[in-house]
Amino acid sequence: MGAYSVNIISLSNKIHHFNYDLGDTFFREYGTDLVSQGSFHADVALNKHETFIEADFIIKGNAVLTCDRSLEPFDFPIESDHRILFKFGDTNEEMSDEIIMIHRDTATLELGQYLYEFIALAIPIKKLHPKFQEAEDDEDENQEGKIVYTSSSDEKGGDNDDNDGIDPRWNILKKLK
């Protein structure tokens, strides 16, 4: 049984709390190129019932990311709250992102992969070092609130009976009305 496995057969029908400190050994076991370093604390509350287990994950810490612009490493703070329902059934099946059916005879839940996935989901697509983030925010503010002016003829609509802007070759079509 791994460090992040919970023996669910021996759990009584009540809330059970598990605390994990996730560091370099965790990321060596579960990590990928997306997140390979960091320091996190995870609180997992398993509320066991007769037909399902409700798991609440609260993860807080810092991931070491590489800036996309300068390739400098930096700490990125992450706070993540997620809930998964493990329903007891006849097969193992992921019914949705939040509901997973596990076989009735399942003895342990492996929580490590879920902890890693929740950390990975909190990583932004565009990873910018905080020193570049301020400049990026300023650019975004400059782009907001642009005012577009239109002429008064555009406001009247597309049906203009004004002959000033019409090509004389199309005048013959007006007789068809």
pLDDT digits (tens, 9 = 90+) for 5-49: 999 999 999 999 999 999 988 988 887 888 888 999 999 999 999
Q: Is the pLDDT of residue 138 over 60?
A: no
Model confidence over 38-88: pLDDT tens digits?
A: 999 999 999 999 999 999 999 999 999 999 999 999 999 999 999 999 999
In a domain, 34, yes or no: yes
Strands in 38-48's sheet, in edge-to-edge order, are 15-22, 38-48, 52-66, 73-89, 99-103, 93-94
Residues 37 and 24: their CA atoms lie apart, in Å, by 6
Structure confidence by residue, pLDDT tens digits, 101-128:
999 999 999 999 999 999 999 999 998 8
Residue 143 pLDDT class (50, 70, 90 cuts): low
Residue 120, domain extent: 5-132
Is the torsion defined by CA of 29, 34, 37, 41 positive or negative?
A: negative
Q: Could you tell me if residue 91 is inside a domain?
A: yes
In a domain? residue 165: no
pLDDT of 159: 53
Domain contains 155: no
Please check whether residue 38 lies inside any domain of the structure: yes
Residue 167 lies in a domain: no
* 157 inside domain: no
Predicted local confidence at residue 162, as pLDDT:
55
Question: For the chain, what is the domain count?
Answer: 1
Residue 110 lies in a domain: yes
At residue 76, the pLDDT reads 94
More confident residue, 91 or 141: 91
